[in-house]
Structure 1
C-alpha cells in the first residue's frame, strides 16, 4: 500500500515521536549491556560505583556490534524513517504545511540538525520525555536532553556524532543562532556536551501552529501581509514600476547569475519610503517585516539578541526585511559600542537570504559591503509642485475637509512630503474641530463636521516641521502689513512681485513645465539695500506675513568666523535646517560680509569672496525665500548681484514719505494734541523711519508720565534724544518754542 500524505502536522509529530521511542529503546538496550547490576538503577546519578568507574575508563566507545534484538529494532527504525520521508513528500505535493519540514527548509538545516529540533520539541509534545531524558542522563532533575544525549539519539555512528558536534560548536550556524535558546548555550562552567538542547520559545510556538509574530519584538517590529489594504501611491509611481521590473528580471535570471538584492532608500520623513516597500511586497505576494532600528536600540536589552530574533522572524515568514530609521546606527561620533552594533548588523544581513531594504531620513554612506548581494541606492525626493498639489487635493478629499484654500498655493509654499501633507490636514481638521466652526454648505465634503480654517491649516503645517534654526537665528513674528510699509510705488511693486513668485510657483513650475528647465535656483532671493531705518526689516515681515510663512532673522556678524571653514560650516547648518522649516531666512547686517568688498587685495579679501560665493550658492540651492539686508550696495560685485532675483533699493525717505511715516506710526487710540504738526516734523527733521518709530514711542511715554495727550513738546524732546544717539545736536532755536 502506497504511503499517504499527512493531513495535519500532528499526524506527522505522532509518527516522529513513535520513531523517537524506537531510538530511545535501542539506546536503552545498548546501555543495559554495559550496566550488569540493575539494583544500582535506583541510585542512578547519585554516586559512581566501582564497576561503573571501570566501565567509564575502559569500556567500549559506542561502536560495538549489535545483537539480534537490537538489529531488528534498528531495521524497524530505518523502515519508520523511510515511511515518514514518503509521507512527507506526499504532503509536500498536496500542499500540506508541516512545520518541521518548513523550518528545516527555510533555515537550511541538515537531516541531523532537523532531528535535533524534533528532540527539543518532544518534551513540548509529551511530558513523558522529561522523565525519560532525566533517566538516560542520570539526572531526574533534567527535563531536556543535553548535547551528549542528543548526539547519541540522533546519530547512528561515532563518525556521525563527531561531524554533528560541530553544529553546536559554531555559534554562527543557523541551528545555534535561530533555533536554539541562546542563554542555554552560554551557561558558564558547562562543557559543550553537558549543555541542554533547548529550543527557543519562538521556534516552539511556531511549530505548534502559532503563525503570529513573536510578541517580544513589539513595538519595534510590525508585519505587513500581502492582503493588507494599502494607501495608494499618489507620487513616485514610476519608481515603483522600475523597482518591480528590476526585481522581476532578477528573479528570472539564470541561477548562476542570480544575486540577492538590497536597497538603500532615503528621503525626508513622509516621503513614502515604507509605502513603496509595502506596495512592492504586496506585488510579489510577500509579507513585509518592518523594523524600526531606533526603537530596537531604545527597547531591546540586547541589540544582538533582538536583531537575531528579527532575522529569524523574517526567515520564518519568508518576508521582505525592511529596516527603517537606519541613521540610528550611524551616529555622528560612533563609539566602540556603536561600531560593534554595526558589525553585528552587517553580519546578520549577510546571513539573510531574502530581500533587504534599508530606509533612512538622510543619506548615510554605508560601511556595509555585502557578500554575494547587489546593493542599490535611491533617493525619494520631495514631489514637485504639481505632485504636491495632487497630494493636497487627494488627501483633502479623503479626509473630507472643507476649506477656502488654494492647494496650488500651499504646494508652492511648503515643500512637503506626502506624509507631511496628510498629517498637516489631519491635524488642521482637529484644530478646526476644537474651534467648532461648522462646515459651510457647498464649501467641501458634506460629511466633514467642521470647516478647515486657514489659520488652523498653517499652524498644522508648521507642526510638521522639526528644525533647529533657533540655534543660529531668531524667530520674528510678522506684525506688519502692506499698509504699514511706506515705500515708493516701484519698491512696493517689486515686493508684491516677489510674493507672487511664491504664490504662483505651481502654475509656472508645474503647469507650464519650467521645473524641468531649472536644475537649481528655484527659490526666491532678495537683496534689500538702503540706509538704516528705511524699512528693510519691516518689509521682510510684510513678505512673510503675506505668504503666512515663518520668519527667521540671521545676524551674519554672529555667523562669520575668523577661522577658515567655520563660516561655511555655520551657513551650511542654517540652510540645512531651513530646508526642513520652509521659513523665510532674513540675513541682517550682511555688511559684515559684503563690507569687505569683492575686490581682492590680499588673502583676507580672497577668503571673504569665497564666503560670499558660498552664501550665494546656498541661496540658489535653497528652495525657500532668502532676504539679505545691506547698507553698502556699492560694495557688492555685479556678478554677485546677477545671482539674486530681486534687488530692492530702500531710499532715504523725503519729506512726503516722512509725513506718511509720522501718520502711520500713531495708533488710532493714541491721544494726540491738536498742536502736533506732522508736516512740520517731516520737513524740519530729516530722520529715517526707524528713528521716527523710536521718537513716537518715546514721546508717548513722556506724555503718559505727564498724564496728558501727546504734544509737540514731547515729540521734539524725543527727537533731541534720538539725534544725540548719533552725535547730532539740535540748535536751541530749533526746539526753544516747544
Structure 2
C-alpha cells in the first residue's frame, strides 16, 4: 500500500511526537538499568546516593549491552523514521507546505538540528512533555529539556553526540543565532549542558501558523509580496532591465561560480529606488523585506541583535533584503562606535546568503570584506527634461488633475524626482480645493499658485544659513529699462521656460555635459535696477530668490570659501532657487599677478566659483558696480552680461511715475518732467525719495506735494555728500 503524504503540518507533528515518545521510552529503559526504581526512590533529585556516585564516576552506561526490549524499541524507531521520511517525500511532490521541513531547508539544518527544533516544539504542542522532561532531568520545576537531555534524545551514538555538542557550542551557528531563544542574563555558574533548550518565540509562531513579519521589527520593517499592486516604472526602465538580466544570468550559472549579490543604489528622495527593487522582486517572484535603518537605530535593542532578527525574517520568507536610508550609518564625523557599528553591519550581512540592496540618498563608499559578496553600484539620477515632462503629464492624468498647465515649463524649473512630482500634484490638488472654498479635490481645478506652493513644499534645504530669502514683489511693468536690456532679461527667462523643448524634445541635453544652467551678470552703477531685475526674473519664473551674503562666504582661511560655496550650490540644487550674488567686485576682480600664496589662492577661489556655476542647473545672478574690473575670461563663461545704464531724463521720468502707487494722494503741483530733468539720480535713489516724501505728507496730513519731494531729495543727496543749492529748493 502506497504511503500518503501529509495534508497539513499538524499531521506531520503527530508522527514526529510519536517518534519522540519512542525515543523517550528508549532513554527511560536504558536509565532504568542503571538507576533505582523511581517509584521507591522518594528522594530522587534531592541528593546523590553512594551507588549513583560510583556509577557516575565509573562512567557506567555507554558500554551497557542492548537487551531484547531495547532492540524492539529501536526497530520501532527505525520503522517510524522510515514512515515519516516517505510521507515527507510524498508531501514535497504534492507541494504541501510543512513548516518544520521548510525551516530545515532554508536554514540548512542537519538532521540532528532538526530533531532539536522538534524537541523545543514538543512542549508547545503537548504539556505532558513538561512533566516528562522534568522527570528525566531529576527536576520537576524544569519544563523544557536542557542541552544534555536534548543530546541524549536526539543523538543515536556517541560520535553524533560529540558533533552535535559543537553545534550548541558555536554562538555564530544558525541554530543558536536564528532559532533558539537567547538568554539575556545567562547564569555564569551554569554549565552549557544544563542550559535549557528553548525555541525563539518567532520560530514557534512560524512552526504553528507560519505567521506574518515578526511584530518586534515593526515599524522599521515592511514586507512586500509579489502579488502586491505596484506603481508602474515610468523612468529608469533600462536600469530595471539590466538588473533582471544580470541576476538572471547569475542564478543560471553553476553553484560553484555563483556569487552572493549586493547592490548599492543611491539617488535623491523620490528617485524610485524602492520601486525598482519592488519590481525586481516581483519579476523573480520573491517577497521583499524593506528595512528602514533610521528606525532601526532608534530602537533600544542593539543593531547587531536587530540585524540577526531581520536576517532570520528574510531567510524565513526567502525574501530579497533591502535596507533604506543607509546614510544614517555614515555620520559626518564618525567616531569609533560608528565605525565599529558599520563594520559589524557588513560582517553580519556577509554571512547572509541572499540578495541584498542598500539604498541611500547619497553615495557612501562600501567596505565589504567577504570575497563571496559581489557589490555593484548605481546612481538613480534625476530624470532629464523630457523624462520629467512625461512624469508631470502621467501623474496629472493618473490623479485626475484638471489644469491648463505647461508641464514642459514645470520640468524646466524644478529638477524633481518622480516621487516629488507626484507629491507636488497631490498637495496642489488639496490646496486648490481649499482655496476654492472646500470643494472636492477631484472637482476643483488646479491653481498655478497652489502648484508652486506644493513644489516648494518638496524642497528641504538650508540656504538660509548662508543667504537671505527675498520675496519677489516686482513685475515687468515695474521695471524701467531700455528695450535692449529688457529683451535680454526676457530671453534669459525664456531659456528656463523652454528648457524642456530645447534640452528634452530637441535633444540638446545629450550634447551638453555641463553648463545647462543659466548665469547672468548685472553690471551698472548703484540704484540702476539690478536687484529689482533679479526679483522680476524670479517672480516671472515663480522661483525662490536668495541673496547671498558674501561676508558669510569669503573666508581668510584656505579652503573655507570653497566649502561655503559648495554648501550654497548643493542646497540651491535641491530647490532650483535663483542665487543672487550682490556686490561681487571683491570676489571677481581681475586675476592678479601671482606674487604670493594668497594671490594664487584668490584665483583658485574664482575658478571654483566658475566651476560651481557651470555645474548648477538653476539660475545664478551676479551683480557688480564695476564691469571693467571683471576678467574677460570670466565674462566669456557667463550666459548673459546685461549692462544697466544710469537712467537719462526720459527714463528717470518713467521711474518717477512708476514709483507712486495708484492709491497714493498726489498733488497737482508734482512735476515729474521737472524732477527728471533737474535731478540726476538713479532709480534706487528715486525710490527712497518717493517713500520719504510720502511719510512727510502723511505727517502733515496733506497729499504728496513737490515740497515734500524736494525736501526728500535734499536728504537723499546729503547721504552721498552732495548739497543742493538754495535756489534749487527755495521755491518749495
Give the TM-score category using the shorter length: over 0.9
* In 1, Cα distance between equivalents of 2:438 and 2:218: 40
Secondary structure of 1:366's partner?
A: coil
* 3-state DSSP of counterpart to 1:183: coil
Q: What TM-score does the superposition give when structure 1 sets the normalisation length? A: 0.96
Bigger Cα displacement from structure 2, 26-35 vs 222-231: 26-35
**Contact preservation (8 Å) 1:63, 1:158:** no
What is the distance in 1 between the residues matched to 2:55 and 2:308? Answer: 43
Per the alignment, residue 630 of structure 2 pairs with: 636
Q: Equivalents in 2 of 1:66, 1:126: separation in Å?
A: 30
Which residue of structure 2 aligns with residue 691 of structure 1? Answer: 685
C-alpha distance in structure 2 between counterparts of 1:374 and 1:121, whole Å: 38
- Map of 1:227 onto structure 2: 227
Checking the alignment, whether the CA contact within 8 Å between 2:585 and 2:624 is kept in structure 1 is yes
Is 1:625 the counterpart of 2:614 in the alignment?
no
For residues 217-262 of structure 1, give each alpha carbon's deviation from its aligned partner in whole angstroms, at most 9, with x where no partner exists: 1111111111111111111111111111111111112222211211
Counterparts of 1:265 and 1:315, CA distance in 2: 22
Secondary structure of 1:687's partner?
coil
Which contiguous aligned blocks of 4+ residues in structure 1 show a shift greater than 6 angstroms?
Answer: none
Asked whether 1:467 is paired with 2:469, we answer no
Distance 1:466 1:128, change over 3 A: same
Aligned partner of residue 626 in structure 1, secondary structure: strand
Q: d(CA) in 1 for partners of 2:624 and 2:71?
A: 102
* Worse-matched range after superposition: 179-188 or 724-733: 179-188
Q: Deviations over 1:184-205 (max 9, x none)?
A: 6845443211211111111111
| Mapping 1:369-380, distance limit 5 Å | 369-380=369-380
Report the count of equivalent residues. Answer: 732
- TM-aligned CA deviation for residue 322 of structure 1: 0.8
Aligned partner of 2:321 in structure 1 is: 321
Q: Please, which of 443, 451, 466 is the counterpart of residue 457 of structure 1?
A: 451
Report the counterpart of residue 165 of structure 2 in structure 1. 165
Distance in 2 (CA, whole Å) between partners of 1:42 and 1:638 is 107
Give me the whole-angstrom Cα distance separating, in 1, the residues matched to 2:370 and 2:527: 61
Deviation, structure 1 residue 375: 0.7
Query: Is residue 289 of structure 1 aligned with residue 289 of structure 2?
Result: yes
1:461 & 1:540 partners in 2: Cα distance?
21
Distance 2:60 2:717 in 1: 113
1:34 correspondence with 2:34: yes
Which of 509, 516, 526 is 2:503 aligned to? Answer: 509
Distance in 1 between residues matched to 2:598 and 2:67, nearest whole Å: 99
Aligned to 2:555: 561
* 1:561-599 deviation digits (Å, cap 9, x = unpaired): 011100000000111111111111111121220136455
Deviations 1:546-566 (A, max 9, x none): 001111110223201011100
Which piece of structure 1 moves more, 233-242 or 680-689?
680-689
* Farther off after superposition, 363-372 or 194-203: 363-372
Correspondence list, 1:1-16, <5 A: 1-16=1-16
The question of 1:277 aligning with 2:277 is answered yes
Q: CA separation in 1, counterparts of 2:191 and 2:653?
A: 97
Q: Deviations over 1:689-728 (max 9, x none)?
A: 1111111111211222222222222222222222222222
Deviation of 1:732 (Å): 2.4
Aligned to 1:681: 675
Query: Is 1:492 aligned to 2:486, yes or no?
Result: yes
2:534 is aligned with 1:540: yes
Deviations 1:36-81 (Å, cap 9, x if unpaired)?
Answer: 2535644333333343333333342634332221222122222222
What secondary structure is seen at the aligned counterpart in 2 of 1:673?
coil
The residue correspondences of 1:564-579 to structure 2 (distance < 5 A) are 564-579=558-573
> Structure 1 residue 616 and structure 2 residue 607: aligned?
no
Distance 2:438 2:142 in 1: 71
Asked whether the equivalents of residues 655 and 682 of structure 1 are also in contact (C-alpha less than 8 Å), the reply is: yes
- In the other structure, the counterpart of 1:151 is 151
Measured after TM superposition, the shift of residue 651 of structure 1 is: 1.0
What's the Cα RMSD here?
1.8
Unmatched segments (≥5 aa) in structure 2 = none
8 Å contact 1:553–1:588 — kept in the other structure? yes
Distance 1:723 1:584 in 2: 33
TM-superposed CA distance for 1:729, in Å, is: 2.0
Provide the rounded CA distance (Å) in 1 between the counterparts of 2:33 and 2:515.
91
Structure 2 counterpart of 1:126:
126
* Distance in structure 2 (CA, Å) of the matches to 1:729 and 1:608: 40
1:708 pairs with 702, 713, 717, which one?
702
Q: Distance in 1 between matches of 2:505 and 2:613?
A: 25
The offset of 1:282, in angstroms, is: 0.7
Q: Which stretch of structure 1 is more off in the superposition, 256-265 or 333-342?
A: 333-342
C-alpha contact (below 8 Å) 2:590/2:630 kept by paired residues: no
SS in 2 for 1:145: coil
